[in-house]
Amino acid sequence: MNETHVTLTGVVATVPEVKSHNGTRLLSFRFVSTERRFDRATGSWVNGAETWATVTCWRALAVNAEQSVRVKDRIIVKGRLRTDQWTGQDGGRRSDVKITAETLGPDLAWGTATFERSRGTAAAEVEAAVASLEAEVADLPVILGEEAGSGVPALAALPVYAAFPPLDPDEEDDDLDEDEDDEDDEGQAVLDTRELVGAGAR
């Protein structure tokens, strides 16, 4: 199917309305693009014909437009153009120009704007999880360095879990007192934590 793509500059004529279609977010508003032409008789620029359209934004563009677009804003719209036609109650023919926006932004010929990159929900959740983990790590005890007479070198104030491998929660406490190496399920030797620390003293 052939599609007509247009790029128009104009003014947001109505308050943007947020809706949901089958669970998908959308935002729509009326938009007017006014022709500007030079009048030789008066030697000045004057307004010409007006083109009215209904602009619809979907998904992420709808979310960003909801936070950015206000009535009377001058914007640039690029998208797919179509015309709906129907018969009114009086029997007359009616038509409406519609633009499904692919991109939308402020018209900087009329003012200034500051761009802020939006972040997806997944990225925000990851950042929140990292911040929570960092807060937990901050409360853990750390190894401050060589203790008097121990001969153990400093470990740059690392958290305990970073200096030693995690212990098996099913092990008995008295297992820590054994000098012999344990073996994991695959038969690989697991160094006793005291031997790992003592290795720096040899």
Domain segments of the chain as ranges: 4-118, 142-198
Element (H, E) at 89: none
d(CA 64, CA 113): 14
Decide: 84 and 95 in contact? Cβ < 8 Å.
Answer: yes
Nearest to 48 by CA among 64, 35, 57, 58: 35
Please report the pLDDT score of residue 117 as a whole number: 85
**55 touches 26 (CB < 8 A):** no
- Joined together, the tokens standing for residue 173 give 């406490």
Cβ atoms of 90 and 111 closer than 8 Å = no
Query: For the residues 97-101, what does the mean pLDDT come to?
Result: 96
Pick the more confident residue, 69 or 48: 69
Task: Give me the pLDDT at residue 88, please.
Answer: 84
Structure tokens at 88: 């009114």
Pairing of strands 24-39, 74-87: unpaired
In the chain, what percentage of residues exceed pLDDT 90?
A: 39
**What φ, ψ does residue 71 adopt, rounded to 5°?**
-60, 140
Please tell me the distance from the alpha carbon of residue 67 to that of residue 27, in angstroms, as a whole number: 11
**pLDDT attached to residue 191:** 46
pLDDT for 65 beyond 50: yes
Most confident of the ranges 42-51, 69-78, 111-120: 69-78
Q: What is the pLDDT of residues 143-178, one digit of tens each?
A: 555 544 555 555 444 454 454 555 555 554 555 455
pLDDT tens-digit map of 110-121: 999 999 887 664
The per-residue pLDDT of the chain, averaged, comes to: 76
Task: Please enumerate in sequence order all residues whose Cβ is within 8 A of that of 48, keeping only pairs 6 or more positions apart, or say none.
Answer: 34, 35, 36, 37
Across 90-107, average pLDDT: 92
Question: pLDDT band for position 134 (50/70/90)?
Answer: confident
Predicted model pTM: 0.55
Convert the pLDDT of each residue in 185-197 to its tens digit: 544 444 454 454 4
The CATH code for residues 4-118 is 2.40.50.140
